[in-house]
Structure 1
Amino acid sequence: MAKSALIIGTGTGVLPRNMYKYGADWTGTDISENQIIEAQQLAKEAGMSIDFYTCDAKDIKLENASLDVITACQCIWYLNHEITAPRFSAMLKDNGSFLILYMGWLPYEDEIAGKSEDLILKYNPKWTGCRDTVHPVWVPDEYLDYFVISKQEEFRVDIPFTKDSWNGRMRACRGTSASMSPETLAVWENEHIKMLENYPESFCIKHYISVAWLRKK
């Protein structure tokens, strides 16, 4: 029997599309309608049957005890934990899993990542989502009333990029598109593209992944 998995903050569906080959029944939700539209299109083009919905995590309505796994990837900070902690527990089957996932680049260990951050700070010095180091992902206290922490782990990975895809990754971070004016963003992007001229067309950026595996009580 296939496992059933819910992906909170799915964005364009990267996680369920990459995990699809393992055979679970996948559902992805995100608060951004534009992201969900793109996720639906990408899944359709790949011939994948994945249910995607535009929905705030606190408003998800799935049957109780209907899921084997729930994941929150790159989004735990934005959830209303007083609501989502008991709701996630109720939706999970006995001994079901809640995975909190985070992946970040390492600016002190990777030259391109470090210089990219420096350039963002040049135009947006109030940006706080920078200078990351390897550390455990945050597990809000509210979940500990309903779950036990089975395992926490951090490990390093090298993620391949091209100049264009890395510029796009930097453009998508909260320090740029989400907080710069269009004029400032254009100036930053031009300088970032010029900076990347000093590097090969393809390269890897040092990242780390942090995982907290919680089991339903």
Structure 2
Amino acid sequence: MISAEVRFKKLTADFGKTANDYGRHRAGFPDEFFERLKTLGILRAGIRALDLGTGTGTIARGLATRGCEVTGLDRSAPLMEQAAELDRGAGAVVKYVNAAAEETGLAAAEFDLVTAGQCWHWFDRPRAAAEALRVLKPEGRLVIAHFDWIVLPGNMTEATEKLIEKHNPKWKFGGGLGIYPLWLRDMAVAGFVNIETFSFDLDAIYTHEAWRGRIRASAGVGASLEPDRVAAFDDELRAMLAKRYPEDPMRVMHRVFAAIGVVPMIASTKFRAT
């Protein structure tokens, strides 16, 4: 299996190129994820939260609709435009900032919670972890989370991944287990303490059309291929689903994973400087 360090360095992706599909078909984290954060005492109404790599705002919106004061941060204006439109439909209020996770430009010790959903691997991770520590209050939490489809021998997601690799050999994200131990090291090196994780599996429901949109919005397809190559991939995926996996809608196995770190009461001045 290719190491995470290698997989996450081979591909350049611009998710702004696929913002429409991203907004429509990447549903984001399920309610069960937010309920788990509430059970752990991490998510509470009234806290100030910063969502790094917010994309179309799926975590930011989930926090806002549960009573948090939320800032969403991303470098892609098209994705944040989609986020604002989705927020209006959900009755959520989120402030969006165009900036990098490694250098947010925000004040030190300003937030109770920093989240990063489905994006940590795109960052300069040591710098992003140090920046998260800087903007968090003492005893604030960093939550790095994923919601990944899970490949099993012969299942539809395995066939989909093989098709992505056929059309884009640079894509090396396949075969993941939905668990990210390196993120714990990132937190520890930055100075976070009391690090813990949780994970659980559930099925997400997709129609054939929605699955095609979800895959077009992935790093290996719409975010990195030219439009004609995206169209060719989509045609082949449509035909494969119709022939080999005719059930519509489909149940697609996913795994929720989160790594949680706590800012110590007295953090290193190396990271807490303004």
Instruction: Tell me the TM-score normalized by structure 2.
Output: 0.73
Cα deviation 1:182-207 (Å, max 9, x = unaligned): 33222111111112224232122101
1:209 aligned residue: 256
Contact 1:12 1:39 in 2 (8 A): yes
Contact 1:167 1:192 in 2 (8 A): yes
- Paired with 1:112 and 1:203, the residues of 2 have a C-alpha distance of 9
Matched, 1:105 2:146: no
Cα deviation 1:72-112 (Å, max 9, x = unaligned): 11111222334333322121111100011112111226722
* Structure 2 counterparts to residues 182-197 of structure 1, below 5 A: 182-197=227-242
Percentage identity across paired residues of the two chains:
27
Contact 2:195 2:261 in 1 (8 A): yes
Per residue, is there more strand in 1 or in 2? 1
Using the TM superposition, give the Cα deviation of residue 140 of structure 1 relative to its aligned residue in structure 2, in angstroms.
Answer: 6.2
Decide which of 132, 139, 142 is 2:183's aligned counterpart: 139
Using the TM superposition, give the Cα deviation of residue 141 of structure 1 relative to its aligned residue in structure 2, in angstroms.
Answer: 4.0
Decide which of 48, 55, 59 is 2:92's aligned counterpart: 48
Decide which of 173, 189, 199 is 1:154's aligned counterpart: 199
Contact 2:196 2:260 in 1 (8 A): yes
- Paired with 1:59 and 1:209, the residues of 2 have a C-alpha distance of 27
* Structure 2 counterparts to residues 23-34 of structure 1, below 5 A: 23-34=67-78
Contact 2:184 2:259 in 1 (8 A): no
Structure 1 stretches lacking a partner, 5+ long:
none
Using the TM superposition, give the Cα deviation of residue 10 of structure 1 relative to its aligned residue in structure 2, in angstroms.
Answer: 0.9
- Paired with 1:185 and 1:81, the residues of 2 have a C-alpha distance of 30
CA RMSD for the aligned pairs?
Answer: 2.0
Aligned-partner SS, 2:215: helix
Contact 2:65 2:92 in 1 (8 A): no
Instruction: Give the letter aligned to residue 28 of structure 1.
Output: G
- Paired with 1:185 and 1:90, the residues of 2 have a C-alpha distance of 40
2:134 aligned residue: 90
Contact 1:159 1:206 in 2 (8 A): yes
Contact 1:28 1:52 in 2 (8 A): yes
Deviating more after overlay: 73-82 vs 29-38: 73-82
Using the TM superposition, give the Cα deviation of residue 157 of structure 1 relative to its aligned residue in structure 2, in angstroms.
Answer: 1.6
1:122 aligned residue: 166
Q: How many residues align?
A: 217
Instruction: Tell me the TM-score normalized by structure 1.
Output: 0.90
Cα deviation 1:53-80 (Å, max 9, x = unaligned): 2211123122222211001111112223
- Paired with 2:101 and 2:116, the residues of 1 have a C-alpha distance of 10
